[in-house]
Structure formats: structure tokens, C-alpha cells
Structure 1
């Protein structure tokens, strides 16, 4: 369920993207003999480059699974990607950001074959020319270039068995004739995600435990169409359309609740059972018009993008809590919450860049962007309380029953945001060994939010206007052919996602819910990074980042005291808010290398990360209710390990065995201590002419489970989360490549609304 996967997705994680492609089958033997001698992994100025076309891991893979095997990139939830264990990854294709929201992009990559990818570029600290939020890093997927006109494509289908069975299929076509290029893809998938929750919270005198299943069925249909036309030798015009649709009907959660609380001075235990039924569907359509003009033979060019995004989601839920006994036998209805939470997002964006190159290896980049976004969220809530005789009733804060009609609580939230940005970057190659880049971005954000919410007049209208100056610098020095060292400093901001600003509640039970917050401020992030690389195979990365006004979700537990002084019943509210400051320091060493005449290809990373948290919250920013203090000023050290290995099993290079493993040690996050996570995966692959057959097993040891605990609070207050997403799965896929293998992928153009996409979900 979209609202119910809220717990684990909030804290962490990452994932890995990468893909590669291979040459024409008829020339496979000769070409591989050459490409395997290339530098597969190397450092270039501000980025690491992974030449997957020179590595044996791409055939039969998807873009998503190959990215999870890219050096420096990791994933713990099979949904999100992180770079060097912490930075969020933003996906670019051929230097331009992909044009999808986060959920659609994940599904798209999982259904996209890897055969057409030339190399993966990992940019840990992007320069001022990139529009990225917070400490986001960039993964740029570079596609293979054209050699002749013609048509080619690939078909892929597969089946995966986890808790439930799922299936997927995709078709990609690429056509080029003279000046015209057309690229298209359509893919579909169907799956049911099963999760099991154990949620515990309480104080020294009371507690609440919820345990049960969440089942979320999904049907997805998506694709893209790119049309690229070369106007003349120096200019191109391109139109891109991306589309994605998701349908999730019959999503359910069933939670058995045990409540222990004092009653008349005596400890009392009561039971109830919450059943939630949710139906939702969403649509994402985006259009981008791109014009590129080359202004000289040195590579100077003008790039203009205009884009429009329309995102729409329909979602309704029926949440019912029944009285129960300890054996989960249901009795009368206690509470019913009917909720309708639609969302509409419209965005228009414009982006202009001009890059001027000079003969003395000096480059000047200047540009600007404008984003106008409007979100419309017309939420409808109806809450009905029932007494033991099934009569409508409402319980006041003291627990007394008041017979009353159902409570109708609408909230129509409209948010308008305008972002203006300009940047300037100067880059100079001083010698064959030394180069540097300096730049800055200046952004102006003006926003207005309105809400029909009579309970809190402050929500009726609020404005947030702020300006940000964001400098950047990087230096790169090649000591000799074997040694390279680089340093970079970056300052960024993280704006809250649109859904984080909508002051709506998502219910697990009537006293256990998440609360979004329109008063969330943008966070500021400052990062320093030092990198050393040896022989283009071994590397060391030292990183320090400081985040001010961290945007996260914090748990408020206990009996709230309203602004009028009334004490309510025990509750658990997960509040989206700014939560103090945070420092992250990490040191990572790694290797990307082939052994035994390329029979074994491996990449290995190991590192330490230190988190220093400094957060405090005791007041619900929406209602003003005061809870016992929630404090997180704990420091933690954690170990991170990742290794991906591919073994070639025969001389003809048609059989491959893969063994992958990652481990994340205990670490302190905003909600408490995240217990260690790990996963052991394996795969075997057979290449037969234009066909590739692959069998993959994920989380063999069933160790990728989320467990978060916090027992450090005053007055015995605690919070515990255990989430099993049943990550163990077996996947079988077949990929067929057809047509002229020398056809160029046309220019992949993403829209001007680069930084808007990741904020829609």
C-alpha cells in the first residue's frame, strides 16, 4: 500500500543502477578480445567512469540490476540508490536527467534491457551546472553511438517468484534514417508486494503493539517516445514523451493491536483489529522540447529545454478498527475512517545552458532555469466512532463517549511554487596533470500554500520565500600515470517533496498515523570529499557532510497535551518535520579489477561511516499538541561492505556465474538504531546467439529485513519497528536482441523540469 510502506522507505537506502551493451553478435569474439583490455573503471576529473561495454556483466541484465553492480553504488531496499553508502542517486541518460518520478523510474529501469549501454558515470559531488537537491549524486548512463542507419531493438520477458509470483515484459525499438532518429519503449509488469510489520511503542506506564500484514497488488504500464531530427550540421531538435501508469486496487493491511494502559489505577489490556482497504491509480505524463546548437568546432553549444509535466493520483481508503479478544476474534466495530486523498501536479519548466570552450583548455558554462509548479490535493476524511452497541459515538480526549454524527474533516490544500535559478561555472585544464573547476548557483524560491483547515488558522495561507547562494569547487591532480588525487566542495539545498507539504494524515490505526507538514523548511547540505585512485583499479574516498534543518520523519509517542491543556489518549504520530542537524563522515576503500585472464571480474568496497545526530522535537507543528520530548543526540559508527563478482565459466564466453553480497552495520538514524542489513545474491547466465537466458536468486539467506529500535528516551518511552518485505526471490528472464546492431541510440533528452520529478513522490 502506498501509504503503508511509509516506515522503511523513510530511513535509508539506496540502490544501484548501471547497464552496458555489447557489440554485434557476429563480431562478438573479435570485439571482446579488444574491449577486455580496456580500463574498465577509471577516474576522470569530477567523476568515476565504469566501462560496462568492456565488462561481462551486461548481457541479459536490466538497467536496474546492472546499476546495483556498479562500483560505489549500493542498494538495500531494491527501490532507491545510494552512492558511497549515503548520497542519493539521480539518474541521467547521455548527460540529461530522466523524466520520471521516483517510483516510475524504478519500474522503468527494472523493465529496460541493458544491452545498449556503453558506460556508467558516477558523479559523487555534482558541479553547479547540475540541478540536484541536497547531497544527491549523479549516475549518468551513456548509450552506444550510431554506426549505420537502420532498425534494431530487443524484447525481454521474465517471471519472478517471491512471496507472490510476478511477471514483466518490454519491447524497445530504435530507428535511424539520415537526419531522423526515433526511439521507443513499452513495458508492463504485474506484482504483489507483501510485507509483515511489528510496531511497538509506549512509555513506562502504557504500550501499544500492532502486528500484521500489508498486501499491495500493482499493475504497471509505461514507456517513452523520443523523436530527434538533425536540422543541419550544427543543430538538432528533439521531442520526448514519457508516460507511466500504475493501478493498485485491493491493497490491504490487517493489524492486530494490543493496548496496555492504566485504568482506575490498574493496568488494563485491551485488543482490537484494524483492517484497511485501499484503491489507487496514478498517471505520469511529461513532454520535453529540446533545441541544441553547436556554435564552433571546439564543442561550444547552446541548449534550450521547455517541458510540461502532468501527474495525477486517485486514492481512497477505508480503515476500520474492530473490538477483539486476545485470540483475534472480531467483535463490534469501534472506529471507521474513510479517506479520499487525490493529488494533481502540473509543472512547466524552462532551462537554458550555454557552454563556451576556448583553445587554451578553458571552458565557461552559464545558464538559468525556471520552474512553476502547482499541486492540488483535495482530501476528504470522515471519521465515525461506535460504542459497543454499534451506535455512532465520539470519544473525547478523556475517553468519555459522546453520541454524535460522523466527523467530516475536509482539507483542500493548494501549493504554488516558483523557482528561479542561474549558474556560472569556470573550468580550466592547467596542464596534463592538473585541472580545476569553480562555480556557483543562485536560486530564488517563492511559494504560497492555502488550506481549508479550520482547526488551525495558520494553515489557511502561508508563504515561504528564500534565496540561496550555492558555491562549488573541485581540483584534480594526476600525480603520474598510476596515481590521481582530487578534492571537491559542494553546497546544496533540499526542498521538501510536494507530498511532504500536504497536511494530511495517513492512518495505520486511529491512534497510529503519519502526519505531513506544510511548514517544513528547505535543508542545507555542505559536503567535502577527497579521492585518491591508484592504477585506475583501487580507490580511497574520504567524505564529510553537514546537514542543517534535516528533513525527516520523527515519532511522537505518549499522551498529547492540547494547546488548551486537555490531556489525550496515548498515540503514535510520525511527524514529517525539520529535525535539527546531522553530520556524516565516511572513509571507503575499493577495487575494480579482473583476474585470471578475465575469468574473474570483481568490484569490492569496504568503508566506515560515522553519524552524529542532533535533533529534538516535542510539539506537533500542525496541531500544537505537546508530547514527551523526542531527542536524538546519539553518535554511531557502522561498517559497510559490498562485493560483486562475475566468473566466466567457459572459453567461448557464453556461461557466466555471478555472486554478489552487501552488508550495512548497525547505525543511528533519526528514528533510532537501524539494525544491520545484508543480502547474498547469485545468478547464472547463458548467452546463445542473440538470446540471453538468466536465472537470479536474491537475498538467499533471508537477511534483508528492516529493524529499528529506540529505547533511549526519557520516562521509559520507546519505539520499535520490524518490517519484513520478503526480499528473497527467484527470477528467470529471456532477452532477445534483433535488427541492425550498429544503429545509434538517438539523443536521449530529459526535460527542463529536472529537480521537480523526484519531488512528486
Structure 2
């Protein structure tokens, strides 16, 4: 911590000296006013207007409903103004000399060629593109997204998969960091999955995948970052969206939401309410062959119901022209329940059957508070931001696992057995951070500080049914308390020339963690400091070819769930258990990207991870009982080659194809190195039909991949959707057909293990969804989403 403080005292001294000098130069400033019109002289709203000096952006704003814009506090000098927006060609003025306040003549923007026909459909951005080192997956234009959740959408993105427990994986690794509007969720595993399943696709603008993040991002996430960007707009006025949707697979589901805002020059007040009822069935089967000869087959029908309520509200205030203050509250309640039943059949050493029932009620509550501030220091792009967050998660899980064990003739071998469990869990997260962007001469300098504290209290108690009733089972119960504190600082600098850019960054993080298994009398303390350098180089070799290289060092701290040594039973013969001795992963990631004609993308990524964390399986201390846990493997090497190629079959039929090739290898304890080559194919068809109907047809195939002791089987899906707008685009109707041929599955088999374990899980993924959205007023502004990083590891 002292190292971080000294580092920033030196930097702040330099910063304050230069800020004072710059402010002394900005006492004489002026105002620029202007407007944007089309060739017919009509105003064009919602265009992005940039004020530039050389190649640097000094200020940026958006045209109002009347097409007007304004730049305040502009220093005297020479500038260029650009206007850009979807459906219009980018317009750039000649150099403008600014001496005093002035009103510019109207700027004229021309529509793209696809806009020239009177009834033409707006030119759509590509479904997948590479921009600033990010692979961007466009969601808001997709008819297929109708009625889907954020979790469903992620599984359609290239390289994103999930295991049998809904743990998200990127490029074969669960060491992925999930952000929402650049802020992490502090959730992982099933809790993250449930959060994403409650987030409707109608809220999402796009998904960004970053393989080699820069120093300004938290260092967590060896596989990279997934950033979910929510819809937003800066247009003035009021807006209200009313959305209702219904769908059916095995069971009926529905979703309703309303979102609105009022925005003026001085403030933006926004809020939304949502409710979703989910009812799904997953069919889970498995086969376990133990060294002693016992063969255990499982069949389980897992019925899950969820009543998911979301609520969010906030205000953003413009204070004094160069300062912004915001407050945001977010919350959700998930009334979640599970009722799973099915037989476990034992053969080999004996012939018997265990009839199981697993019932769980788990209401989940979340409240998050954010206070944010931004100070614009001058018109040269210097600003400071600050965020303070407090987040609370609470769940009170209650349920039971009951079973009856019978022999081959159907007679009871043992009396009815039942384990009741009670699992109150309290999580508190506190975080403060400040970031600065400080252009200095020809350098773009960024710096920041962050401190976070996480406390988790999980008291898992089992009660066993005995002849006298239910009695505590202390050998199965555990009270686990985890505390983690991280102090971080970063500094980065970038310079751009005509065809080349260089960005260098360094992040330092000091981590203290205390995992205390009170019942098990096991306590693990860790205290360490890491440096995370990053480098990005880019050069445009010609007008049609660009080459980018990025290098980044990352860390993946074990999730809190993986550290908790309590046992989570699946049935009488299987349970999962955390490992408090897990060490953090550390990785070097190298990415080389070539872009041809701005649409053909070829990316090579090399990932070398030390102390690789993955699932292990073994027979536990009780014979024939399968124990799933996590362990550190010595290292993992992974190579990924991604090709993105759009093309047109007809003028109204555009295809975006993505091919991902990968090779993963690592040594397995007690065996030699194992390896797997894999392919991931994604084909997206966008078709403009008559009467203004947009159609989308998407196919996805993923070949077998490796993860820890498991080799996952291939799977695929085909989705289709249609979209049509009515009443001058005030009503939007979408219908989507998900997994039409019902090919989605999560299945795997152990490799190089003493225990042969197979599982095959079939989710309720074949569904039809209809969604209607009515827009009232202007364009909706949902406010800036504020989330923090520690949420991603709960």
C-alpha cells in the first residue's frame, strides 16, 4: 500500500503543477453555437458532434431535437468540427479560427447511399466488428434477441460457452470478467447466471469482448473481459418505454418492464421497473464408474421457477457547466425455487435404486448505491471522475435432499433419509475509486486509484433426519467468513501519429485476503502485490490494411464459492466442495490483429496461464461417493485464431461469418499433458424482407473442448427472428425462435481420471418469444450504469 501511495504522490505533484499552468491559460474562453441539417434543410437530431484540435478530441456533444449544438469554454485557437451518426456520411469542416464567441453556419450532412431511396431501410451496422481492440457483437438490431436474456445472448457470442452449472466460459476458461457498462458485477457461477437471466435483451445495446485489457481495467480475468453495454441516448426531453413479452417452451414465461427518463441541459432523471416470470425444465443425466466397480446412473428432471423483480433509479446533475454529480440506486429480488426429482441406479457391485428429491427455496436480494462525480478541468480533454459504491447481497436458502434406497426387487434397504439445509449468506462490498484523463502535449495520459473491501458471511447448516427427528450434522455444516481488500493504482500514456499509435500502461494491485472456515478450523491468509504492465501498438500499413499488437498481464483470483469448503450435495453419491488452498492464476496474453478493408478481421491470441484453476473429480473418503472440487494445475497454454468475414449474397441479404480455431493444452496431475484442438463457427444472416420486415437467421456450432478434467462434447443451435416497426417506429414488434432443432446441451466426460464420469444436461432452450415495445416521447436515456469489479467473484 505504501508503494502505491508514494507512486501517486509523485504523479499528483506533476499533475497539479501542470493543471495550475493549464488553468492559468484558460481564463479567456468562448462559446461556439451551431446546427446540423440535411440537404433539404431539415434539422438532424442525435448526431455526435466533435470539436477537434489536430487529431485530439477537445469536446464532444450530441445535436438536440432541433439539430442544434453548443461547445462551452472553448479556448482561442484553430479547430475542426466533425458530425457523425448512423445512416449519415461523416461530415468534417475545414479549419475554423476561433477568437471570440461565434455562431457557425449550418453544417450539412448527407445520408448514406442506402438512405437515398424514399422507403429504404436504414443502413445497419455489422453484427460483429473489431474496434479499438474490442470484438463488438451488436444486440439492439437483432430480431433473434427478442424475449431472450443477457445470458442467452452471451451464449450466441463467439467463444462464449457455459458448463453444466451455468458457469460462463470465454475461450474455454471460466477466468472471465463480466462488466456492465464498464463496471463489474461482483458475481460468479450460478449467481451471475441468474443475474444475467433476469436482464432482458431489450436493455442491451451491444456486447464487447476484450482479450488484452489495458491498465485502466481491473487486472482480474485471465481469459479476458466481457462488457455488456446497455442502451442509452443523450437526447433532451422525456421518454418512456413500455415492454411486454411472452414465450413458451416446455412452460409459459412472460416479462414486463417500463423505463423512462426526463432530460434537460441541467439534469437527467431516470428509472425503470421490471418483472419476469421464468419456468424451465432441465433434464440431467449422468454415469459414474468408480474404481471399485460400482456404476452409478443418474436421471433428474430439474424444474426451476423464478419471479424476478428489478428496480433502478437515479439522477445526473450538471453543476456549473464543468461538473457532473450523479446518484444511482439499483436493486433486484429473485424469488427462486427448485424442485428436482429422479432415480439414481447403482449396478456393478450391487443392483439398487435411490429415488431422490431435491427441493430448494432461495429468495435473493440485492441493493446497490452509487455516488459519482466528474470534473471537467479544461477544454483540452482533462477531467477527473470519482465513484463511491456500497452493495449488499442477501440470500436465505432453505431446502432438503431426501431419498429412499431400494433393492432390485423394490424393497427398502434403508429407512427414508433426509438432509435439511439452511444457508443464510450476507455479502457487503465497499469501493471507492478515482480516474483522471490528462492530455499532456502530444500524450494522452490516464491515471487512477481504487480501494475495495469485500466481506462474506456464509453459515451453512445441515440437519439430518434421525429416529428422534432432525438433529444438527456438524461434520457436514460449515461457517465460512471471507474478507478481501484490494488497493490499486494505474498510470498509462498513449501517443498517436497519422498512421500509428502506441499505448503503455502499468497497474499495481495490493491484495489481502482472509478465508476462515470457523467450523473446520481452517484459516487461509494471503498478502501479495502484483504489477500488471500492458502495451498496445497499432499501424495502418495502407488504406485497406491495419495491424495491431497488444500485450497484457492478468490475474484470476479464486471465486469465493470455490474457496468455501462446505459440501453441496447433488445426491447420495456426489457432492461438490470448495478448496481454501487455491492460489490465484496469473497469465500473459498476447494478441495480434489484422484488419482488411475495415471489415475482415483476423486475430491471433496466445494465453500462457500459471497456476491454472480447473475442476477435478475423485472418489471421496466415503466409498463410491464422487467429489468435485477445484485445484491448481501447473499451467495452461492456449492459442486462438479468429476470422470474421462479412459478405453479401443479395443486396438485401448480408452474412456475417465467424470462425474460431483454438488449441488448448496443460498437464494433468498424475498423467501426461493433454491437448485439444477445437473450432467455433457462428453464421449470422440479416435479410431485409418486403413491408419493412427484418429477418435474422443465426447458426452456431462448437466442437469438443477441454476444461480441467473434463472434455466437453460438441453442441450447436439455430435461431431465427423477425422484427417490424409500426406507427412511425413508436411500436416495435419482435418474434424469435430459439434453438429451433433443440441441439443445445451441456455434456462432458472426464479424461485421465481414476473416476469415469459422464453427464448430459438438456436445457429448456427451444422456445418461441414475442415482444412488443411502445416508445413514448423522445429517445430513452437509461442513465449511466454504475457497477464495480468485486461483484464478479461472489
TM-score by length of 1: 0.82
Match of 1:344 in 2: 426
- 1:665-707, Cα deviation, whole Å (9 max, x unpaired): 0122213221101001111222212212222111111111122
On the 8 A contact 1:298/1:359 being kept in 2, the answer is no
Match of 1:622 in 2: none
| 1:252 and 2:356 aligned | no
Change (3 A) 1:682 1:373: same
1:242 to partner: Cα distance: 0.9
Change (3 A) 1:59 1:184: same
1:449 to partner: Cα distance: 2.5
Match of 2:725 in 1: 687
- 1:374-403, Cα deviation, whole Å (9 max, x unpaired): 111111112346xxxxx579xxxxxxxxxx
Match of 1:3 in 2: none
Q: Give, in whole Å, the separation in 2 of the partners of 1:474 and 1:376.
A: 41
Q: Give, in whole Å, the separation in 1 of the partners of 2:486 and 2:273.
A: 33
| 1:550 and 2:640 aligned | no
Q: Give, in whole Å, the separation in 2 of the partners of 1:44 and 1:711.
A: 39
Match of 2:312 in 1: 224
On the 8 A contact 2:668/2:709 being kept in 1, the answer is no
1:140 to partner: Cα distance: 5.6
Change (3 A) 1:143 1:193: closer
1:186 to partner: Cα distance: 1.0
Q: Give, in whole Å, the separation in 1 of the partners of 2:406 and 2:549.
A: 61
Change (3 A) 1:142 1:300: farther
Q: Give, in whole Å, the separation in 1 of the partners of 2:139 and 2:498.
A: 26
Match of 2:492 in 1: 425
1:489 to partner: Cα distance: 1.0
1:532 to partner: Cα distance: 0.5
Q: Give, in whole Å, the separation in 1 of the partners of 2:285 and 2:582.
A: 29
Change (3 A) 1:353 1:641: same
Match of 2:575 in 1: 513
Match of 1:670 in 2: 708
Q: Give, in whole Å, the separation in 2 of the partners of 1:646 and 1:152.
A: 29
- SS of 2:741's partner is coil
Match of 2:540 in 1: 478
On the 8 A contact 1:323/1:334 being kept in 2, the answer is yes
On the 8 A contact 1:210/1:256 being kept in 2, the answer is yes
Change (3 A) 1:142 1:699: closer
Q: Give, in whole Å, the separation in 2 of the partners of 1:524 and 1:316.
A: 37
- SS of 1:342's partner is strand
1:141 to partner: Cα distance: 2.4
- SS of 2:561's partner is helix
Q: Give, in whole Å, the separation in 1 of the partners of 2:185 and 2:472.
A: 45
Match of 1:580 in 2: 634
| 1:755 and 2:786 aligned | no
Alignment of structure 1 residues 281-680 onto 2, 5 Å: 281-326=363-408, 333-360=415-442, 362-384=443-465, 391=467, 407-409=473-475, 410-429=477-496, 431-453=497-519, 456-457=520-521, 459=522, 461-557=523-619, 560=621, 568-593=622-647, 596-597=650-651, 599-616=652-669, 631=671, 633-650=673-690, 654-680=692-718
Instruction: Identify which of 343, 347, 352 aligns with 1:270.
Output: 352
- SS of 1:109's partner is coil
Change (3 A) 1:519 1:603: same
Match of 1:8 in 2: none
Stretch moving more, 62-71 or 350-359: 62-71
1:166 to partner: Cα distance: 0.9
Equivalences, count = 674
On the 8 A contact 2:176/2:221 being kept in 1, the answer is no
Match of 1:736 in 2: 774
Q: Give, in whole Å, the separation in 2 of the partners of 1:285 and 1:311.
A: 7
On the 8 A contact 1:488/1:528 being kept in 2, the answer is yes
- 1:236-292, Cα deviation, whole Å (9 max, x unpaired): 00011110111123x12213122235xxxxx42222212121111111111110010
Match of 2:282 in 1: 195
Change (3 A) 1:355 1:66: farther
Match of 1:171 in 2: 258
Q: Give, in whole Å, the separation in 1 of the partners of 2:471 and 2:142.
A: 67
| 1:157 and 2:244 aligned | yes
Q: Give, in whole Å, the separation in 1 of the partners of 2:654 and 2:175.
A: 26
Q: Give, in whole Å, the separation in 2 of the partners of 1:578 and 1:242.
A: 36
1:475 to partner: Cα distance: 0.6
1:144 to partner: Cα distance: 4.8
1:42 to partner: Cα distance: 5.4
- SS of 2:199's partner is helix
On the 8 A contact 1:601/1:647 being kept in 2, the answer is yes
Alignment of structure 1 residues 16-95 onto 2, 5 Å: 33=115, 36=122, 40=126, 43-48=130-135, 64=150, 72=158, 74=160, 90=177, 92=179, 95=182
On the 8 A contact 1:59/1:692 being kept in 2, the answer is no
1:420 to partner: Cα distance: 0.8
**Unaligned 5+ runs, structure 2:** 1-63, 66-85, 89-110
Q: Give, in whole Å, the separation in 2 of the partners of 1:532 and 1:634.
A: 30
1:553 to partner: Cα distance: 2.3
1:757 to partner: Cα distance: 1.2
Change (3 A) 1:723 1:528: same
Match of 2:36 in 1: none
Stretch moving more, 702-711 or 303-312: 702-711
Match of 1:6 in 2: none
1:371 to partner: Cα distance: 0.6
On the 8 A contact 1:702/1:728 being kept in 2, the answer is yes
1:162 to partner: Cα distance: 1.4
- 1:489-546, Cα deviation, whole Å (9 max, x unpaired): 1111111222222221111123311111222221112211111111111111111112
- SS of 1:634's partner is strand
Q: Give, in whole Å, the separation in 2 of the partners of 1:184 and 1:750.
A: 14
Q: Give, in whole Å, the separation in 2 of the partners of 1:66 and 1:464.
A: 37
Change (3 A) 1:58 1:659: closer
